[in-house]
Amino acid sequence: MYYAKKISGRFRLDKREEGLKMVSEFWNSNMSKVQGLKGFMFILDPYNPELELATNITVWESKQFMDELYLHNASYSTILEKIQQMTDGELKRSEYIVLDFKRN
């Protein structure tokens, strides 16, 4: 059974490009390094770009692997601190059980 973590937040307008790049680079550089990480999506709402809402969804082999990164990984904690300084308000977090996940 796979698990997913969804994190959404609104970047301040003056920090949007920098923040988007930082998140994308973090996940792209860690795809093959982080144990249990099966994939990620980083998305923006194309119908409401003025909201600046970005959503990151990661898919994990197990809840234990997911929790290990989000709760105990120093490089993730560092980037999270930087991202939180670029956003308006709190980041919204949700966890899910993935019922079906396919990749090519």
Per-domain residue ranges of the chain: 2-98
Predicted TM-score (pTM) of the model is 0.89
For residues 68 and 52, what is the distance between their CA atoms, to the nearest angstrom? Answer: 29
- Tens-digit pLDDT profile for residues 43-91: 988 787 667 789 999 999 999 999 999 999 999 999 999 999 999 889 9
**CATH domain 2-98 topology:** Alpha-Beta Plaits (3.30.70)
Query: Ramachandran region of residue 26, left (φ > 0), alpha (ψ -120 to 50) or beta?
Result: alpha
| Whether the Cβ atoms of residue 5 and residue 58 lie closer than 8 Å to each other | yes
CA distances from 1 to 6, 51, 85, 90 (A): 17, 34, 34, 29
Q: How many percent of the chain have pLDDT more than 90?
A: 77
- Residue 34's pLDDT band, with cuts at 50, 70 and 90, is very high
